[in-house]
Amino acid sequence: MTVIAVIGSQWGDEGKGKAVDFLAERADYVARFNGGNNAGHTVINEFGTFKIHLVPSGIFAQNTTGLIGGGVVVDPAVLIEEIEMLNKSGVGVDGRLWVSPRSHLIMPYHKILDGLYEEAKGAGATGTTRRGIGPVFADKVSYNGIRWTDFASNIFEQRLQIQLELKNKIIAALGGDGLKYESVRDEYRGYYLKLKPYLKELFSLVQDGLKAGKNFLLEQAMGTFLDTDWGTYPFVTASTTIPSAASAGLGIPPKYLTQVIGVTKAYTTRVGAGPLPTEIHDTESEVYKKFGEVAATTGRTRRVGWLDLELVKTAAQLSGMTEICLTKLDVLSGLNEIKVCTRYELSCDPIRYADVDSYGLEKIEPIYQTVPGWSEDISRARSFEELPVNAQNYVKMVEEAVEVPVKWVGVGPEREATIRR
Ligand code: GDP
Ligand code: IMO
Ligand code: MG
């Protein structure tokens, strides 16, 4: 039995989707346990190119069963669209994709409030994906949420009515347009009927699977530093992103976790506001253009920076990382020199990430080491030995600094563009 958590060790978008896709071959269950459709996971394989938001990225492996745990918040329209798209693409998810009825629903007022809160905060805004994530998790923990179970218990209408009364008052106070009860009720009843065949309590399935020694692959959404507790609060997301979330989000006791794979980009990116100590601000520079990416969910431009090993080391310690999957090494090709942040200083004294808050992080000095780059295109390399020596040394430097072995190296976005060591 293996229970493997795949987590992002930076600010999201490390390449978790690709990693889960290639690891899924050996998995019986592939599962999402946190977040919602703020996630955008890119998968490129024999079925095509996909940007997935809710269905586990391992679903392409035909031997797997996909699970969306109770820790995930579900925007039903997005899930329906994704299921239809996957079925149309020949992936076939019917009968092997199950959604926990414990999962909370993202309602239209969550999305409206997300936008209104962001606008009210002005320059201090988080830069959310505006998918309603903060407001739906706030409702979850303040006992105001709506779950799939509410339909089966015939309590949905009553709960919706109360919530709409409350939310319409807040929306009106913030200058937004209120929602009509009947139209939201009918819309969501329709979603329930469409998704009913996919709703199933996961408790017995997970427990039986653990007992039978099945292989579980758990796909985190977001990244370690977007975690509500350990991330750069308040510039974070509303769910726990460290592997312990898989326990609550799926009902898997922590003792079963056998591996934690930290997906780590060979440089750093971040979408939205908040500190990014190694940020490259010169938008005209070669390296800025090289590292530049467009966000899979919102289409925004990702901010970029050099690899920050203090950050990755902190992630490794927080998550109990057992292996690193280093992605996008190919993107560094062509740079004469590569800067890497090895530690932080504050007023010339060493300091750890966890010793300062988000505002303190703006003041720390990242201490860099400059290492030689390589000019060769490495996207066709399929073994470690095929990599130029300087690329090999870059990989070795990462594992030595983080004290976790790099087991996979990504040299391109496609599934097969992966070196296994
Ligand atoms: P996720 O949210 O962690 O799944 O990551 P995203 O899909 O949002 O962003 C990662 C981006 O990097 C996507 O465009 C991937 O196709 C791409 N990608 C992943 N691994 C590699 C790699 O090793 N090399 C290159 N060039 N691209 C990669
Ligand atoms: P994946 O799973 C990168 C960021 C948003 C924003 C903050 C809060 O693809 O790695 P939210 O909508 O969650 O309330 O926004 O979190 N964010 C992500 N950044 N990748 C993600 O997911 C993200 N999910 C949320 O940009 O800064
Ligand atoms: Mg992403």
pTM of the model: 0.97
Q: Is 292 in the pocket of ligand 2 (CB under 6 A)?
A: no
| Substitution site in 116, 128, 220, 328 for ligand 2 pocket (most atoms within 8 Å of beta carbon) | 128
pLDDT digits (tens, 9 = 90+) for 196-213: 999 999 999 999 999 999
Given this model, what pLDDT does residue 122 score? 93
Given this model, what pLDDT does residue 290 score? 92
pLDDT digits (tens, 9 = 90+) for 260-271: 999 999 999 999
User: How long a stretch of residues is the chain?
Assistant: 421
Q: Percentage of the chain surpassing pLDDT 90?
A: 97
Q: Is 21 in the pocket of ligand 1 (CB under 6 A)?
A: no
DSSP-assigned states of every residue in 186-249: HHHHHHHHHHGGGB---HHHHHHHHHTT--EEEE--S-GGG-TTTSSTTSS-SS--STTHHHHH
Q: List, by residue range, all CATH 1.10.300.10 domains of the chain.
A: 108-146+149-195
* CATH number assigned to the domain with residue range 264-420, chosen from the 4 options 3.40.1260.10, 3.90.170.10, 3.40.50.300, 3.30.70.270: 3.90.170.10
**Average pLDDT of the residues in 108-123:** 96
Amino acid identity at 298: T
pLDDT digits (tens, 9 = 90+) for 182-196: 999 999 999 999 999
Of residues 293 and 145, more confidence is placed in 145
Q: List, by residue range, all CATH 3.40.440.10 domains of the chain.
A: 3-99+200-261
pLDDT at 296 > cutoff 90: no
Given this model, what pLDDT does residue 297 score? 80
Given this model, what pLDDT does residue 145 score? 98
Q: Is 73 in the pocket of ligand 2 (CB under 6 A)?
A: no
355 is a catalytic site residue = no
Confidence of residue 81 (pLDDT cuts 50, 70, 90): very high
Given this model, what pLDDT does residue 322 score? 98
104 is a catalytic site residue = no
Q: Are residues 138 and 157 in contact, defined by beta-carbon separation less than 8 angstroms?
A: no
Given this model, what pLDDT does residue 301 score? 87
Confidence of residue 293 (pLDDT cuts 50, 70, 90): confident
| CA 13 to ligand 3 centroid distance, Å | 4
Q: List, by residue range, all CATH 3.90.170.10 domains of the chain.
A: 264-420
Given this model, what pLDDT does residue 41 score? 98
| Substitution site in 18, 60, 303, 328 for ligand 1 pocket (most atoms within 8 Å of beta carbon) | 18
pLDDT at 300 > cutoff 90: no
Q: Is 18 in the pocket of ligand 1 (CB under 6 A)?
A: yes
Given this model, what pLDDT does residue 299 score? 84
pLDDT at 309 > cutoff 90: yes
pLDDT digits (tens, 9 = 90+) for 44-73: 999 999 999 999 999 999 999 999 999 999
Confidence of residue 327 (pLDDT cuts 50, 70, 90): very high
Given this model, what pLDDT does residue 294 score? 82
Please give the CATH architecture assigned to the domain spanning 108-146+149-195: Orthogonal Bundle (1.10)
For 212, other C-beta atoms within 10 Å of its C-beta total 9
Q: What is the rounded CA–CA span in Å between residue 134 and residue 96?
A: 30
**Average pLDDT of the residues in 283-305:** 88
Q: Are residues 410 and 15 in contact, defined by beta-carbon separation less than 8 angstroms?
A: yes
Terminal Cα-to-Cα distance of the chain (whole angstroms): 22
**Ligand having the closest approach to the CA of 270:** 2
**Average pLDDT of the residues in 311-325:** 98
Q: Are residues 178 and 171 in contact, defined by beta-carbon separation less than 8 angstroms?
A: yes
* CATH number assigned to the domain with residue range 3-99+200-261, chosen from the 4 options 3.40.440.10, 3.90.1010.10, 3.40.50.300, 3.30.70.1560: 3.40.440.10
Number of alpha carbons in the 13 Å side-chain half-sphere of residue 162: 9
Give alpha helix (H) positions in 253-388: 286-291, 309-319, 358-361
